[in-house]
Structure 1
Amino acid sequence: MDRPNKPSAISPAGGAPKPSVHTEQGKVIASLPTGDSVQVLLFGATVLSWKSNGRENLWVSDAAKLDGSKPVRGGVPLVFPAFGPPPKDHATGKLPQHGFARNSHWEYLGSSSSESGKLASGGDDSIKLDFGLSHAQISDDAKNAWPYDFSLVYSVTLAKDGLQTMLNIQNKGDKSFEFQMLLHTYFRIDDISKVSINGLGSTSYIDKMLNATTQTQTDPTVRITGEVDRVYTDIKQDTTSILQDGKPRLDVVREGLSDSVVWNPWIEKAKGMSDFEPKDGYKKMIAVEVGAVDGWQKLEPGETFEGGMICKAHL
């Protein structure tokens, strides 16, 4: 995939410790001198691990497939160009659930520690990894089902104060297309019964557990006491916070996006998913997923859309 000014890979030199990057077994692994690290699987450009202060912040199923045979259960799978089962009467109607980005092989475009960004302040305290996917790289089935010329660049920036993931979508063709996108993030927590989520108060949401009816979040705090599958739309606050025992654990800041999905499969749903292990793993995870999934985004030829998140972990 062509990209102007493609950043070159960083190789640690002598002197002060610098960020390091290496690839192994289809993964790109980056580390900071602080010990913070991130791992991205080239299949799906799925973030598999994000460690800060020695603590893992993402949940990945013990039965997750990392061999490219199916999308990864856990981490941060990328949803594009359709969220959920696509409607049959839409241009995405022939695609599988959640589209093709999470089960396509992406190209690693390189790394940089000097590009601008809210977390990438330059120097040795951050490192940015870029991954690309274009129409030419997806499967023949996906091309036939969704015959649009597009370019995706997914940037994963690891910094000492958080992790930023941004998806840039460009229409490279001569006709417009519509899409949805979502970062389906599985966060690792200690005990779901002690978790609360702030930042969604007074927001409308589509409740998949109540026949996709629209509800309003009247309580400023969301607590998980059973299966939850909600699409919060047009959120006014930029930050959604996950608390453990009433103390801040993780902040999720939306960038260029106004929707978020909150999901936990709970007992029965977890039992029914062959790649969800252990079966009581729902106690150790909560999915807070930023995206543009309420309706459709439209890109005219040559236009670009960009959206993503900044995640910050608390001790």
Structure 2
Amino acid sequence: MVDRPNKPSAIAPAASAPQPTVDIADDNSSITATLPSGENVTVLLHGATVTSWKSGPGAEKKENLWVSEKAVLDGSKPVRGGIPLVFPIFGAPPANHATSKLPQHGFARNLRWEYLGKSTSESTTSGDAGTGPTDNSVKLDFGLYSANLTDEQQDQWPYDFGLVYSVTLSRDTLQTMLNVRNEGQLGFDFQMLLHTYFRIGDIGSTAITGLSGVTYTDKVLNATEHAQAENAVRIAGETDRVYKRIPQSTTSIVEGDKPRFDVVRDNLPDTVVWNPFKEKAAAMADFAPDGDYVHMVCVEAGYVSDWVRLEPGDTWEGGQRLRSLL
């Protein structure tokens, strides 16, 4: 065998790219996922409520969601802020309906969900495969089942179901999707809503676009029906509107003349726009500071103007993709 004087050096194994991390709170109350680039999301197991979503350029990430300083996070009541999940009824239940015994907004936001685990993905965004910068994402799954209901709740809504709620964080987006399975022998009707509280600079310079021509129910004006004439919805007083069967999939929040958020609905036809404004905010015990109504607006994707009918063995999925436009 010939001895080569200049042997090639061994090829060092490629360093593995940083991966998203997932941390469980010491008291087992919440899950936080963080990308290598610093974006993060926190989900409270009570209600599977997203309580924080931070993103943006630079090392200091900006909070995208508003949560009241007096929000109750111990599981004794729903969270005022973040993204509470409404199921299987939106608002007060109608009389003589299968949901009529349930409390307002149902039970999903009031119960502790099970953390089912995480999955991660990585995609090359530029350059040759394996050489360009990559985008990471991490998906957190949470479960709630009919067996988790109390005896009283099972009496109020006696159906066998399984819910899987997936929260997926990527660099500038947060996706929240709900999968509903009918695991029983009876069909059932339900509604769902993602009650998202966005943090904004000033409600006076904020507009919601993408709703022009859409019919809405104005709950402040005795649930009367109206058509949205202007492209931009501006808030100058208490606002509680249900925009129904919206043809386009994207609704946007604009601050001044700059887009701030896009809300892209997936299999959800409706959007609720809500701000309590001065007097109602002051009257709400868990809304603080009182004047913070100027720093929040709810743009809530949902299926609430009608019912989803789910027969035995069937599944349904719907949700939203939020994009921060910093």
Q: CA deviation digits over 1:156-176, x for unaligned, max 9? A: 000013000000011110000
Structure possessing the higher radius of gyration over alpha carbons:
2
Hey, what's the Cα distance between the residues in 1 that align with 2:76 and 2:90? 20
- Which among 36, 40, 46 is matched to residue 39 of structure 2? 36
Matches of residues 18-97 of structure 1 in structure 2 within 5 Å? Answer: 18-24=19-25, 25=27, 26-53=29-56, 54-97=61-104
Q: Please report how far the alpha carbon of residue 115 of structure 1 lies from its aligned counterpart in structure 2 after TM superposition.
A: 9.8
Matches of residues 279-294 of structure 1 in structure 2 within 5 Å? Answer: 279-294=290-305
Contact map agreement 1:105 1:138 (CA 8 A) in 2: no
Letter in structure 2 aligned against 1:18: Q
Q: CA deviation digits over 1:126-165, x for unaligned, max 9? A: 0000000000012222111001000000000000130000
Instruction: Indicate the SS of the match to 2:152.
Output: helix
Letter in structure 2 aligned against 1:96: P
**Which residue does 2:170 correspond to in 1?**
159
Instruction: Indicate the SS of the match to 1:262.
Output: strand
Q: Please report how far the alpha carbon of residue 114 of structure 1 lies from its aligned counterpart in structure 2 after TM superposition.
A: 3.5
- Which among 226, 248, 251 is matched to residue 259 of structure 2? 248
Q: Please report how far the alpha carbon of residue 55 of structure 1 lies from its aligned counterpart in structure 2 after TM superposition.
A: 0.6
Letter in structure 2 aligned against 1:97: Q
Q: CA deviation digits over 1:232-290, x for unaligned, max 9? A: 00101110000011100000000011100000000111111100011111100000000
**Which residue does 1:146 correspond to in 2?**
157
Hey, what's the Cα distance between the residues in 2 that align with 1:299 and 1:16? 43
Letter in structure 2 aligned against 1:71: P
Aligned length in residues: 296
Contact map agreement 2:88 2:108 (CA 8 A) in 1: yes
**Which residue does 1:4 correspond to in 2?**
none
- Which among 107, 120, 132 is matched to residue 114 of structure 2? 107
Contact map agreement 2:122 2:137 (CA 8 A) in 1: no
**Which residue does 2:5 correspond to in 1?**
none
Contact map agreement 1:252 1:311 (CA 8 A) in 2: yes
Instruction: Indicate the SS of the match to 1:113.
Output: strand
Structure 1: tracts of 5 or more residues without a match: 1-13, 117-122
Hey, what's the Cα distance between the residues in 1 that align with 2:236 and 2:121? 44
Hey, what's the Cα distance between the residues in 2 that align with 1:193 and 1:124? 35
- State percent identity of aligned pairs: 59
**Which residue does 2:209 correspond to in 1?**
198
Letter in structure 2 aligned against 1:286: V
Hey, what's the Cα distance between the residues in 1 that align with 2:169 and 2:257? 27
Contact map agreement 1:18 1:124 (CA 8 A) in 2: no
Relative to the length of structure 1, the TM-score reads 0.92
Instruction: Indicate the SS of the match to 2:81.
Output: coil
Structure 1 ranges of 4+ moved more than 4 A: none
Letter in structure 1 aligned against 2:19: K
Hey, what's the Cα distance between the residues in 2 that align with 1:254 and 1:311? 9
Tell me whether 1:180 sits opposite 2:191 in the alignment. yes
Hey, what's the Cα distance between the residues in 1 that align with 2:152 and 2:277? 33
Q: Please report how far the alpha carbon of residue 183 of structure 1 lies from its aligned counterpart in structure 2 after TM superposition.
A: 0.2
Q: Please report how far the alpha carbon of residue 124 of structure 1 lies from its aligned counterpart in structure 2 after TM superposition.
A: 5.8
- Which among 293, 308, 320 is matched to residue 297 of structure 1? 308
Q: Please report how far the alpha carbon of residue 79 of structure 1 lies from its aligned counterpart in structure 2 after TM superposition.
A: 0.3
Contact map agreement 1:113 1:124 (CA 8 A) in 2: no
Matches of residues 201-220 of structure 1 in structure 2 within 5 Å? Answer: 201-220=212-231
Contact map agreement 1:198 1:222 (CA 8 A) in 2: yes
Instruction: Indicate the SS of the match to 2:294.
Output: helix
Q: CA deviation digits over 1:35-74, x for unaligned, max 9? A: 0000000000000000002110000000000000100000
Hey, what's the Cα distance between the residues in 1 that align with 2:136 and 2:294? 33
Root-mean-square deviation over aligned CA pairs: 1.3
